[in-house]
Amino acid sequence: MSRKQIVILDKETLGSDLDISALRQFGDVIEFKITTANETFDNIKNANIVITNKVVITAEMMEKSPKLELICIAATGMNNVDLDAAQKLNIPVKNVAGYSTNSVVQHTFSLLFYLMEHMDYYDHSVRSGLWSMSGLFTNVGHPFHEIAGKKWGIIGMGSIGKEVAKVATAFGAHVGYYSTSGESRSSSYLQQPLDVLLSTSDIISIHAPLNDKTYALINENNLPFLKDKAVLLNLGRGGIINETDLAYELERREIYAGLDVLEQEPIEAGNPLMKIKHQERLLITPHIAWASIEARENLLKGIVENIETYLKGI
């Protein structure tokens, strides 16, 4: 079997620390740190196997790349490739599912703890010298609650949602969920209508896909249902929360939001969330929940397995 040309279109999104040497057993690997829309065709036109995280591959690009025989998506979501065109052209498209569950669950709690325990306030009190000047051994200027005994509402009870539910339960939370598909996803937890979940939960975390049912699911009509001091976390997809409506609600009253995903990534300078006065109520991370070292190693392993399986079958 001849050696393949393997092209990685956006290696920088996988991290410079990820050792991709396992891919070289299959052929010659060409890496591009990033690939713009204008560069994509030139970068794939001679490739046998293409690995993409977020770079979009269109029908026209595939049609004009006669050597292309396999597309590996370095993610779970597959919306960046024209799947109908790939099927017509007999080009398999393989993703990797489940590689980042532990990482996303961990980051969910990282966002929560930062906001719920007011870490920004307490860190500032130490670094600014305010604690030293107080003469007290402690500082309880910004009281915080425990998870135990609180109601945790989960939007999207898939594999990640279920793992979050397990950990939340271990902390002593009472878990309920809203199914974005309308199907019952778990007999272990109480399924609730969205308005009931929002109005009764102290903590709400989103772990749902973005689709017609979930776009702008959280908006000006239901954000007012949130309890005062509630914490809203989005680790699903940007676009599920209307960001303009959320910015307004964060200014209006004391609720908290932790976001790892946004509708436009990276965040635009004009995003209203960048301009709110009460920044202590908001924590945004740059879509990193999926990206622990272990998760990215699992992702690469899944890509290698997908290539191996394909090559064995031809």
The CA-atom distances, in angstroms, between 41 and each of 46, 93, 219 are 9, 17, 38
Count of CA atoms in the C-beta half-sphere (13 A) of 231 = 26
Cβ contact 275:302 at 8 Å: no
* CB contact at 8 A, 230 and 255: yes
Strands (E), 121-224: 151-155, 174-178, 190-191, 203-206
Q: What's the CA gap between 145 and 150, in Å, rounded?
A: 9
Query: Is 265 designated active site?
Result: yes
In the residue annotation, 253 being an active-site residue is answered as no
What's 32's DSSP letter? -
Q: Give helix 101-116 / helix 293-313 axis angle, nearest 10°.
A: 160
Active-site residue 118, yes or no? no
Choosing from 107, 281, 287, 296, the catalytic residue is: 287
- Residues written for the chain: 314
Is 30 in contact with 50 (CB distance < 8 Å)?
Answer: no
Instruction: Please tell me the distance from the alpha carbon of residue 45 to that of residue 63, in angstroms, as a whole number.
Output: 10
Question: How far apart are the C-alpha atoms of 245 and 118, rounded to whole Å?
Answer: 23
82 within 8 A of 62, measured Cβ to Cβ: yes
Query: 63, 220, 265, 305: which one is catalytic?
Result: 265
Q: Pick the catalytic residue: 237, 249, 281, 296?
A: 237
Catalytic residues: 237, 265, 287
